[in-house]
Amino acid sequence: MKLYIFLTSLLFAQLAFGQDNTTATKIWSFEDCLNYVIENNITIKDASLNKSIAAVSYNKAKSSRLPNLIGSASQNFSSGNTIDPITSDYVTKQVNSTNLGVTSAITLFQGNQINNQIKQSKTLLEQSALLEEETKNSIIISLLESYLQALFSKEDIVISENNLIASEKQVERAKARLEAGAITLSDFSEAQSQAATNKYTVIAAKNKYQQYIITLKQLLELPPTTELEIQTIDENKELLNLELNKTEIYSKALKHLPEVEASKLNITASTQQLDIAKGGFLPTLSLSGSVGSGYTSVNSTSFIDQLDLNFNQKIGLSLSIPIFNRNQTKSAVKTASYNIEKAEIQQQSIIKEVYKKVETAYQNVVSSQEQLVASESSKEAARQAYKLAQKKYELGGLSITDLVISQNTYTNAQQNYIQAKYLTILYHQLLQFYQGNNIKL
């Protein structure tokens, strides 16, 4: 009996241990999130499908150089006055006829349109690959922003909880002092009010953190029921204090960012479309050939013999010269010319946008670095002042109002510091990313 109880207890312990392992929440590092989002984000998948479609279009364009091959078969029945479709004789009786054939045609020249369409399809394929990279970059930047916002909110929760703990202790001291007649009921009420306010702040901070976690889960395409816990990062002040050359960053960004190269390919594709449109002014030369045979009931010869006797081959050249097509080609040429100008304007707009991104990130990283230094000093000074205020309050030399003011000042200093810290990290990483460097947190 004792052995049975021991084995049962051991089994339940193993089951409990297994459940603890399966329900343990995974802690996601930024690298984990980055690898996962690239594989699972639906926006990136959509861009990848666009590239696959462009590859199919490219293969289709290359196949247009090949000849086609069409087989045909028909069975006909006629009666009365008719022409035999096999012998072409005029007959006045019922006729059963069979036609069999294979036809092939190839375009030898079409104003060089086929070659230009192949070139354009290849250009569009290369552009779609760059647009896929641009989409990935956009998602990565969104992931970075959301991850750092969540980390900021996570630290804000700690600050808020520490304030709540301090406020609750102040309420306990205030209650004791009220009972001893050292303070008024108004002072005690103010201590309670501050504790309630800090509790509300904790709830608000936790809610904000959960909102950022929801954003992260949506980027990662995780189910709503998935628990997501993110990993904190170490401060690297040496990295944050690196000297940055704005001109060099901008130059590298123009070479690295895929949207810049994609805009160039857009101009190339538009120019190729103009060449395709101009090909409509030129003649088209095609080569065609066919083989066939047939059977007719008018002839008494057997079906197999007739197929042999009626076997025929044809080959021919066809030249089509455009004379007037209701100005369709002229309109296509004008439209293509305007599209080239639009593509050039779009490229200028993208270059301006890249400059704006680099300039904004550069100015923000310089500003946030300065704010980080100032806020760190301010935080330390506020901490010392709050610590001193607590001692004075305990000795009865400071009112609860002045203590609350000192606590709020310290809280604001802490929040300003972590805000400056994460903004500095964000904009520094953006500048690194614009230069083609990997994001490292």
Q: Is the domain of 277 the same as that of 214?
A: yes
- Say if CB 274 and CB 333 are below 8 A apart: yes
Does the residue 5 lie in any domain?
no
In terms of domains, do 156 and 234 share one?
Answer: yes
305 and 381 inside one domain? no
pLDDT digits 0-9 by tens, 35-64: 999 999 999 999 999 999 999 999 999 999
Six-digit token string for 62: 């290359």
Pairing of β 90-92 and β 81-83:
antiparallel
| 385 touches 407 (CB < 8 A) | no
What would the pLDDT profile of 392-408 be if each residue is shown by its tens digit? 988 888 888 999 999 99
In a domain, 3, yes or no: no
Last residue of a domain, one of 296, 321, 346: 321
pLDDT tops 60 at residue 1 = no
Among 271, 297, 321, the domain-final residue is: 321
Same domain for 297 and 153, yes or no, is no
> Over the stretch 282-325, which tens digit does the pLDDT of each residue have?
999 999 999 999 998 888 889 999 899 999 999 999 999 999 99
- For residues 389 and 430, state if they share a domain: yes
What is the Cα–Cα distance from 62 to 386, expressed in whole angstroms?
75
Within-domain flag for 46: yes
Percent of the chain past pLDDT 70, that is, above it, reads 93
- Of 297, 321, 345, the residue that ends a domain is 321
pLDDT value at residue 88? 78
pTM to 2 decimal places: 0.87
Residues 365 and 263 in one domain: yes
Structural domain includes residue 6: no
| Residue 209 shares a structural domain with residue 95 | no
Question: Over 80: is that where the pLDDT of 343 sits?
Answer: yes
Decide if 375 is inside a domain: yes
Domain-embedded: residue 184? yes
Q: Mark whether 118 and 255 lie in a shared domain.
A: yes
Q: By mean pLDDT, which of 195-204, 339-348, 392-401 is the weakest?
A: 392-401
Residues of the domain holding 75: 67-107+285-321
Q: Can you tell me the distance from the alpha carbon of 363 to that of 361, in angstroms, rounded to the nearest whole number?
A: 6
Q: Quick one: DSSP state of residue 86?
A: T
Q: What is the pLDDT of residue 237?
A: 60
Q: Give one DSSP letter per residue of 5-72, joined into a string.
A: HHHHHHHHHHHHHHHHHHHPPPEEPHHHHHHHHHHH-HHHHHHHHHHHHHHHHHHHHHHTTSPEEEEE
Burial grade of 278 (CB within 10 A; 0-12, 13-18, 19 or more): middle
Burial of 344 (0-12, 13-18, 19+ CB in 10 A): middle
pLDDT per position as a tens digit, 118-170:
999 999 999 999 999 999 999 999 999 999 999 999 999 999 999 999 999 99
Together in a domain, 226 and 138: yes
Q: Work out how many domains the chain is built from and give that number.
A: 2
Length of the chain: 441
Does the pLDDT at position 361 exceed 80?
yes
Residue 367 lies in a domain: yes
Can you give the pLDDT at residue 239?
54
Kindly report, residue by residue over 116-126, the tens digit of the pLDDT: 999 999 999 99
Banded pLDDT at 15 (limits 50, 70, 90) = very low
Banded pLDDT at 11 (limits 50, 70, 90): very low
In a domain, 15, yes or no: no
End-to-end alpha carbon distance in the chain: 57
Give yes or no for residue 3 having a pLDDT over 70: no
Higher pLDDT pick, 18 / 293: 293
Residue 360 sits in the same domain as residue 212: yes
Residue 157 shares a structural domain with residue 189 = yes
**Mean pLDDT over residues 4-17, rounded?**
41
Domain CATH code at residue 98: 2.20.200
Contact 284, 259 (CB under 8 A): no
Nearest CA to 429 among 226, 105, 147?
Answer: 147
Q: What is d(CA 302, CA 299) in angstroms, rounded to the nearest whole number?
A: 8
Closest CA to 33 of 236, 230, 234: 230
Task: Indicate which CATH number applies to the domain containing 134.
Answer: 1.20.1600.10
The CA-based angle 373-378-382, given to 5 degrees, is: 155
Q: Both 212 and 308 in a single domain?
A: no
In the predicted model, what is the mean pLDDT of the chain?
90
